[in-house]
Amino acid sequence: MNVLRICKNNFLRATKRKEIFVLSFILIPALIALLFFILNKPASPKPIAFVTSSDVEMPKIENVDIEKINEEPNYSDLILKKYSAIVKQNDDGSFNIKTILSKDFKNFLDSYLNNKGDINLNDYKDNKRGTGTNCIGFISVFILSLSFFLMDLCNEDKSCGAFRRILTSRTSARGYLSAQCLFNFLLLFIPSCLTVLVLHGIFDVNIGLPLTSFIFILFLLCALSSMLSLALSSLIDDPVSYLSSSLSLGILLLLFSGALIPFNNDNGLFDTVTNVLPFKTLLTLSQNVENGNSIFMYNGMLIYIVLFIVCLYFIGTAITKKKSSFGTY
């Protein structure tokens, strides 16, 4: 009962601080909708610039736009990825290719245009992730940042003495922290879940994964974010330094889990170290589900994530209890 009372108190506090509702109920749905809109477009490679003043045509490549221009574009256009390659035809009929992208891409173009090597057209495929996994990767940035903002309420309580008063009442520290986690989780899960339901049900947007799997993965993501913010807030008490350090740490964690930039499993040691991160397990799980398998085939990953959630909760509550027994509050 006290847990629900503290939750209700947090909601009442949030009505006075409108930015909390604006961030959860307006910004997150808008960002999710924008993400689905951007990532649902077919990912075609950037156009290739073909520099010629005559009517010569470059051989067509499947799914690649070829722009014919008169003047050679600047090298910085390649860097900004306006064009993926600049192709000029030499006097002897062969093509001169200038690109800064990977050697595989250059070899593919070379073999296709100048008939060197045996690379098949269909062999060159970008190692792209599915739409749903990409969306979950980007959504996790917003959800993690928002969970840190929301857990700020807990640190404010600690700094202004409200936490001390709550500890002297019948509510235990664990009860109070559970209430904060519940509030955090509800404000993360409900808007994002509703957005996905509306986008899929009414606007028929392709979310990549089956709806129930997507909602389940979103549930795990929100739970993981709120527990991580709980654990960090129990370590860092000062509200200002909590926010700045937890945001940087969160972004770094997501970066090395491959949420923002997908990376291949090439480097053994790096992969072993990053495989510990639960966000990476979550993204691997969602990619596997997107490839067509059922979510319950990967019980090991599910158990790992749930275990992490439970451990973070116990770490957060244990540290806070220890600090309160030392008299920090």
Partner 1 sequence: MNLLKIIKFDLSNDFKNMSFIFAYLITPIILLAGISFLTQSYYDSSLFSSIDYYGITMSVFLCSMMCDLSLNSFTVDTVKPVNIRVIYSPTKKTNIFLSKILSGFIYGIIMLLIFTLFEHFILNVNLGGANVFFVLAINIAFIFFSCTLGCLLGCVIHNGNIASKTSSFLFSIFAALGGVFFPVYEFGKTFSKFSHLSPETPVIKCIFSIIYDNDLSSFLGVISFLIIASIILIILCKITFKPEEYI
Residues that bind partner 1 (CB under 8 A): 19, 38, 41, 44, 46, 74-76, 78-82, 99-103, 106, 149, 240-241, 244-245, 247-248, 251-252, 255-256, 258, 260-261, 263-264, 266
Q: Is 91 helix (H, G, I), strand (E, B) or coil?
A: coil
In this complex, which beta carbon is closest to partner 1, that of residue 233 or of residue 317?
A: 233
Estimate the crossing angle of helix 131-160 against helix 28-39, to 10 degrees: 160
Mind giving me the DSSP string for 149-188?
HHHHHHHHHHHHTHHHHHHHSSS-HHHHHHHHHHHHHHHH
User: Nearest distance from residue 271's CB to partner 1, in Å?
Assistant: 12
In this complex, which beta carbon is closest to partner 1, that of residue 3 or of residue 243?
A: 243
Backbone angles phi, psi at 101, to 5 degrees: -75, -175
Rounded CA gap, 31 and 145, in Å? Answer: 13
| φ/ψ bin of 9: left (φ > 0), alpha (ψ from -120 to 50), beta (otherwise) | alpha
In this complex, which beta carbon is closest to partner 1, that of residue 86 or of residue 289?
A: 86
In this complex, which beta carbon is closest to partner 1, that of residue 108 or of residue 313?
A: 108
* Inter-residue contact 48 to 66 (CB < 8 Å): yes
The conformation of residue 51, written as its DSSP 8-state character, comes to E
User: Nearest distance from residue 43's CB to partner 1, in Å?
Assistant: 9
User: Nearest distance from residue 150's CB to partner 1, in Å?
Assistant: 12
User: Nearest distance from residue 287's CB to partner 1, in Å?
Assistant: 17
In this complex, which beta carbon is closest to partner 1, that of residue 82 or of residue 323?
A: 82
User: Nearest distance from residue 266's CB to partner 1, in Å?
Assistant: 7
